[in-house]
Amino acid sequence: MNNKFIRYSLIIVEITSFPLFLLTLIYIITGYQMLTPLVIFSRPRILHLDRLLRILFVYLFLLHSYAGLIILTARRVRNRKISDLVMTAITAITALFLALFTLLELLI
């Protein structure tokens, strides 16, 4: 695999990690807040069910996971043919999940 592609993947993982962490915290806090008398956000249900946050979370998650798996494969799989096969499978599966999620969001 191209070293430039792996370098870009590392940059993607670094850039997406903090927003993904914040969105995860928001979802965890608002979820607990709907179940307990804890008050951090004034309207936790609106935040927890917000479509834009959900789309942003899923796209960031898929992008972060894709780049991370590419880096993991590049570092751990030494055989060039197997590495290319695994990276192709990762790309296909990520594209499938992206298409399925986009289709579901359009139908809702």
Summarize pLDDT for 4-15 with one digit per residue, the tens: 999 999 999 999
pTM tops 0.85, yes or no: yes
Phi, psi of 99 (to 5 degrees): -65, -45
In this prediction, residue 1 carries a pLDDT of 64
In this prediction, residue 38 carries a pLDDT of 82
In this prediction, residue 53 carries a pLDDT of 94
Q: How far is CA 5 from the centre of its chain?
A: 18
What's the token pair of residue 42? 């004034």
What's the token pair of residue 80? 């060039």
Is residue 43 within 8 Å of 79, Cβ to Cβ?
no
Q: How confident is the model at residue 39 (pLDDT cuts 50, 70, 90)?
A: confident
Close Cβ partners of 98 (under 8 Å, ≥ 6 residues apart): 59, 62
